[in-house]
Structures are given as structure tokens and as C-alpha cells.
Amino acid sequence: MKTHNVDFLVAGSGGGGMTAALKAHSLGLDVLIVEKAPHYGGSTAMSGGGIWAPNNYVLREHGIYDEPESVVTYMKEVTEGKVAEPKIRAYVQKGPEMFDFFRKASTHLRWIYSEGYSDYHPEFPGGRPEGRSIEAEPLDFNELGEDKYLVQPSDITMPGGIYLTALEFKNMTMALRTRKGLQTSFKAMGRTIADAVTKKDMRALGYSVIGRLKLALNERNIPLWLNSPVKELVVENDRVVGAIVEKDGEEVKVLAKNGVLFATGGFDHNRKMRRENFPEEAQRDLSLGSKHNTGDGIQMGQELGAKLGFMDDAWWMPAIQLPNGTLFTLVSERAIPRSIIVGKDGKRFTNEASPYVNFVHDQIESGNEVVYQILDQTAVNRYMYGAKPPLLPFSEDWYKTGLVTKADTLAELAEKIGIDRDGFVQEVQDYNRDAETGKDTKFGKGESAYDRYYGDPTLQNPVMDEISKAPFYAVKVVIGDLGTKGGLDTNEFAQVIKENGEVIPGFYATGNTMASVMGYDYAGAGATIGPSMIFGYIAAEHAAKQN
């Protein structure tokens, strides 16, 4: 077996792995990234690209400054005391430092504020309704040269080559309701035409995060092996000193004297692990994470006696399964006025516009594996749904596959989709009565700034309006996820720990390989990628001090 020597080995090429490699190299380490997939970028490339890292310089430039203790307080509320405080404090402290490092490390690493994208619990102590999420500036992927063809493909795309930042997407959902929405739509279409003429290949969201990090890695000539899965860890005297990596069909012993970081993703597509850990309603593999996320890193850590955490949870996301099998996330759609979501009893079970993890937790508790979003004709005409623009009808394929059902009356709709008719009709009547006053007496929809973010600002309550214009529609909603939350428990230095709290020397984890620093909840947009990058940064710093 061949031997390859480096200082620091990073397994996984998502945001966390790339950040760790960049930081480690800046500290003088010889770094190697190995990636199981034939593409780089992992689930980060497939994501919305938000990063939740309070107090970074981008936010400060927009006048959004937090006392660190305020952020710690918020995080402790979000995690309900289930995450060790030193780990929370490390996250809060190192986030701004990481972005200061980015600013100096490469001119490619440029970021913008996702203006107004509320924290997911702005009502908690320390929460912010104006939000603390940032994203990468859109990038012309032609700057990557041949590397642009090797990025992990993503399903988060708009028709016609249109690219949008998070704020632009939010505005565009109101294209027929607000001047800003209409202006954004024309702006997006105009620049798409201009880009086609100038042969630019502009990307935003997760693509731009990964693209910019890859450009920074390329500047430093940091090697990245694709199609190179880790097969096992190399351990000497209870210390992780490297890994056996399969490259070009042959096993290579990669020795890493400063340590090994696992940023290998969660167990999104490991059906056995899903059955063992998730409630029955959520065991189906409807994950939007990379198909290569099968829990390898978590299982290898288990073999060394690593402690696990939050294995029964995921970054849940209500979704629709399109006729071609692709999953489409329901983020803005759940805030559509003139709509509700009901279970088999015909009743609402939660605030439809709530953060997606909380929504699915409530769906699971209600015992509904499948639920239905109900819309009237006015809702279909006024608002985007998935990639369907306003005014246009749903695709015939959606009807043929049972994704959408249509009826002239609410009672008929209930019978067609097999839910309790009388309960459903009464539920809509109750909801319409609340819509007249703009106050949801059942679940408080619209009270949180997060609820209202994707709502219709022309209404008294941006996420409530009566469901009254026939025909009526039911869209079949399933439990998807952006990835799993459970993984190897780590300390404030991203070191993997055992059940007794002892560290496993030389072994680090971040991203969805690591037990979530968010506990069972979600602080804000980018609370998956943010921790992945920050704890990757922390791991690199700690590893650089090892001998």
C-alpha cells in the first residue's frame, strides 16, 4: 500500500471542509482534501447558501452589531440547554474571526447581507427580526475554468438560467403584489439576457459559496482528490494519525500528523440508520442532501467509541415530490395567504408559516406522514408556487401523478384526497373567520417576524387571507430534509469526544458529521452551513497547534 504524508487531512469538500483546509494552509500546514463523490461541494453546493454567523464584518457594515452575550443567550434559548455552553461560546466567538480571516485570505471571498431575513425565533431573548444571515456574492462560474464542471449538481435552480440572491427571491415571490417584486423580476430577467449575450455563467446561493471557496483553495494550490472515499481511520496509541483512502481503485495510507477532520456529511441516504433513529413518519429517504451522504464518517467514529448526539433529528423540510422524482422545498410557499395545511383529520396542526424544522416536528407529532396544502384560485393566480409563476396553472403532470388535486367545492376536495370532510370544511370556515380580523386564534400565524418575511405585505396579516375563491386545490406535502442533524459529539475545539467526555486525539468533526450545535432547533437561515464552516475553522486552528 502506498503512503502519502500530509499535516492535516480533510475528508469532505463542502463549506466546512473547504474552510478548514483554507485556514490550516494559512497556518503553514500541508493539507489534503479527499472527497468521496465525483464532484466537490457536497450538500453546501446544493443548498440555499445562507450562513448564520452573528457579528461578522458584513453585518457590522450594515449596522447590525450584537453583544456576544446576547447571541449566546439566544443560542441557549434555541438549544434549550441541550448543547454544551463552551461549544456555543466557541461558535459565537469564532464566527466573526473566521470572516475577518476570509477578508484577508482571498479577494474571491465576498459576501452580502441577506437583508431582513429574520432569525427563525426573533421573539426569543437575543433574537433579531432583521436577521443575521449572509450569503456569498453571485459568481461567474467561468472564473473556475474546468472546475466549474466538477461542482456538485443542485436542484435549486430557476427556469431560464435566472439566478437570484435570497432577498431577490423573496421579492420575486410578490411579483404581482408589490412594485419591488415586479422590479426584481424584470431586473432578474434583464441581467439573464445580458449574461447570455456576454456568455457569463452566473450562480448564486450554495453554488456561489462553494465556487468562491474553491477559487480561494486554487490560489493556494490545495489538492482535492475526487472519487476518493475514506475506508477506515489509522490509529496509533489511541490517536488518529491518518486514514486509508481509496484513490483510483487503490488504497492509499494518508498519514496526517496534525490530525484528521471529518466533514463527510450525515446519514441522509442510509436507510438502515434512518429506520433505527427516526420516527415512522420520517423514515422514508426524501432527503435533499448529497446522495453520497450515507453516514460513513459517523460509523467510523462509532468504531472508535465516539459519543453520538441528536441522532433522532434532521434539518427537516416540508417538500413536494415532483413527477420526475425531484424534491422541491416549501419555504416561501407555506407563507402564501389564502392557504392552510391540514392532516388526514382535515384539521390544521401548526402554524404553516413557522420555521421548517418546527413545522415538521409538529407534523410528526400529529402522526401525519403526508399532509395537504390547500389553496384557492386567487392564491394560485397571485403567488409563485414552486417554479410555477403566478397566473399560470399547475402542470398537467402534477395532476396525473396526484401531486395536485382540484375540486369545485371544499367538500369535494376533501373526498378526493381522502381526508375528513366535515372536519375540513369546518376548519376552513374557522380560518376564514380569523382571516377577517387578521388574527390566527389557533396557532398565531403571522405574529413572528419570521412568519411574515415571505408573506404578502399588502395584507393586514401578510400570511392570512380567506380561502374562498373556487376552484380549490390540494398539494401533497411530504417530510423531506436538508440533511441529518445527528452525529459525532464534539467539544469546543471540534474534537470528537467519547461517552466519558475524553477526546479522541487527532480526530475532528464538523458539519452534519458532527452532532448539531443547534440542538433540535434552527437559529436562522444558514444555521447548517454557518456551524460547518466555523467548526471547520476551529478544527484547523486547533490541529495547527498539535505536533
Distance of CA 89 to the CA centre of its chain: 22
Note the pLDDT tens digit of each residue in 490-504.
Answer: 999 999 999 999 999
Note the pLDDT tens digit of each residue in 221-259.
Answer: 999 999 999 999 999 999 999 999 999 999 999 999 999
Note the pLDDT tens digit of each residue in 288-326.
Answer: 999 999 999 999 999 999 999 999 999 999 999 999 999
Q: Mention every residue, 6+ apart, whose C-beta is less than 8 A from residue 397.
A: 323, 403
Comparing CA positions, the residue from 425, 423, 422, 457 lying closest to residue 438 is 457
Instruction: Look at residue 156 and tell me whether its pLDDT is greater than 80.
Output: no
- pLDDT classification of 159: cutoffs 50, 70, 90: low
Note the pLDDT tens digit of each residue in 56-106.
Answer: 999 999 999 999 999 999 999 999 999 999 999 999 999 999 999 999 999
Instruction: Look at residue 525 and tell me whether its pLDDT is greater than 80.
Output: yes
Q: Mention every residue, 6+ apart, whose C-beta is less than 8 A from residue 454.
A: 170, 173, 331, 332, 334, 335, 353, 463
Neighbours of 291 (CB within 10 A): 12
| 3-state DSSP assignment of residue 191 | helix
Architecture of domain 224-315+482-545: 3-Layer(bba) Sandwich (3.50)
Angle (CA) 165-168-169 rounded to 5° is: 85
What pLDDT shows up at residue 155? 79
DSSP-derived letter for residue 143 is G
Note the pLDDT tens digit of each residue in 187-212.
Answer: 999 998 988 889 999 999 999 999 99
Give me the half-sphere count of Cα atoms (radius 13 Å) on the Cβ side of residue 169: 24
Residue 363's H or E segment, with its range, is helix 356-366
Q: Mention every residue, 6+ apart, whose C-beta is less than 8 A from residue 465.
A: 337, 338, 378, 435, 456, 459
The DSSP bridge pattern shows strands 503-509 and 250-262 to be parallel
Dihedral of alpha carbons 206, 212, 218, 222, sign = negative
With contact defined as beta carbons under 8 Å apart, do 82 and 520 qualify?
A: yes
Instruction: Look at residue 158 and tell me whether its pLDDT is greater than 80.
Output: no
Comparing CA positions, the residue from 253, 303, 220, 246 lying closest to residue 6 is 253
Comparing CA positions, the residue from 37, 3, 36, 34 lying closest to residue 20 is 34
What pLDDT shows up at residue 39? 98
The DSSP bridge pattern shows strands 111-113 and 314-321 to be unpaired
Angle (CA) 240-16-294 rounded to 5° is: 70
Distance of CA 525 to the CA centre of its chain: 8
Instruction: Look at residue 118 and tell me whether its pLDDT is greater than 70.
Output: yes
Architecture of domain 316-481: Alpha-Beta Complex (3.90)
- Work out the mean pLDDT of the chain and round it to a whole number: 97
Q: Where are the domains of the chain?
A: 47-205, 224-315+482-545, 316-481
Instruction: Look at residue 540 and tell me whether its pLDDT is greater than 90.
Output: yes
Q: Which of 163-172, 349-358, 424-433, 466-475 has the lowest mean pLDDT?
A: 163-172
Read off the pTM: 0.97
Average pLDDT over residues 414-436: 98
Instruction: Look at residue 459 and tell me whether its pLDDT is greater than 70.
Output: yes
With contact defined as beta carbons under 8 Å apart, do 320 and 327 qualify?
A: yes
Neighbours of 107 (CB within 10 A): 11
Q: What percent of the chain has pLDDT over 70?
A: 99
What pLDDT shows up at residue 547? 72
Instruction: Look at residue 417 and tell me whether its pLDDT is greater than 90.
Output: yes
With contact defined as beta carbons under 8 Å apart, do 480 and 286 qualify?
A: yes
Instruction: Look at residue 387 and tell me whether its pLDDT is greater than 90.
Output: no
Instruction: Look at residue 157 and tell me whether its pLDDT is greater than 80.
Output: no
Distance of CA 306 to the CA centre of its chain: 25
The DSSP bridge pattern shows strands 2-11 and 250-262 to be parallel
With contact defined as beta carbons under 8 Å apart, do 172 and 159 qualify?
A: no
With contact defined as beta carbons under 8 Å apart, do 252 and 234 qualify?
A: no
Q: Mention every residue, 6+ apart, whose C-beta is less than 8 A from residue 379.
A: 336, 337, 338, 339, 467
Angle (CA) 42-265-206 rounded to 5° is: 35
What pLDDT shows up at residue 160? 67
Instruction: Look at residue 147 and tell me whether its pLDDT is greater than 70.
Output: yes
Instruction: Look at residue 284 and tell me whether its pLDDT is greater than 90.
Output: yes
